Amino acid sequence: RSRAELAAALAAAPGPRAVVMTMGALHEGHFDLVREAARRVGQAGTVVVTIFVNPLQFAPSEDLDSYPRDLEGDLAGLTRTLTGVDGALGVGRLVVFAPTPEVIYPAGQPSVRIDPGPIATVLEGRTRPTHFAGVCQVVLTLMHLTSPRWALFGRKDAQQLAIIEAMVRDLAVPVEIVPVDIRRESDGLAMSSRNAYLGPEQREQALALSRALRAGRDVAVEAAA
């Protein structure tokens, strides 16, 4: 949980390294990122999974306090995901970093802030004007703390992915960003930790987006035939 413990764990784990940054409440979408990270590092490498509910990316009226947390379940899921049929861990080393806000932001509030620029002011950024600045702050901090070769992010959060790619490019961060495809529920809903908030009626409404995307795809395929 501390920076010193993380540094010691990484020092004891030579070889290629990949990081998967999460806020916990892990699901199969997260585990897809972990599997791809394990595939890239191989038996000689290390997968780092960070579990941190970042207060800087929540506005005062948002769900920081109620965001689902299940560290014990997350650890069990990670072990299950990476363990092969022979009972061996399918990667050289798994390091889980689950810090408190005081560990990530020792001064309480960062003195130096990341400004993600105009790309963060459209789409989701129109209703969450401080969100992506908080995301960039924690992502860059965790990149420095974990020093990975690869950092894996889901395509579900497309705007976030584009902003992180721009930040890494513009600040010359020596990390390769690896996008991973969306994992969906059987009914087509994109997997998300916040899906737990949805009641039956809200879940049905949420399916409108995936249904519209599939319908648009089908029309495009027919037109190209």
State the CB neighbour count (10 A cutoff) for residue 197: 13
Considering only CA atoms, which of 133, 128, 135, 139 is closest in space to residue 113?
Answer: 133
At 54 the three-state DSSP class reads coil
Q: Which of 115, 168, 137, 112 is nearest to 58 (CA)?
A: 137
Q: Cα 33–165–167 angle (5° rounding)?
A: 130
Query: What are 24's two structure tokens?
Result: 């916990």
In angstroms, the CA 71 to CA 88 distance is 22
Residue 30 a catalytic site member? yes
Task: Check 27, 30, 131, 144 and give the catalytic one.
Answer: 30
| Maximum Cα–Cα distance across the chain | 59
Between CA 49 and CA 64 the distance in angstroms is 20
**Best CA proximity match to 148, nearest among 8, 41, 12, 44:** 41
d(CA 187, CA 131): 29
Rounded Cα–Cα distance for residues 175 and 154 (Å) = 16
Q: What is the DSSP letter of 135?
A: H
Residues annotated as part of the active site? 30
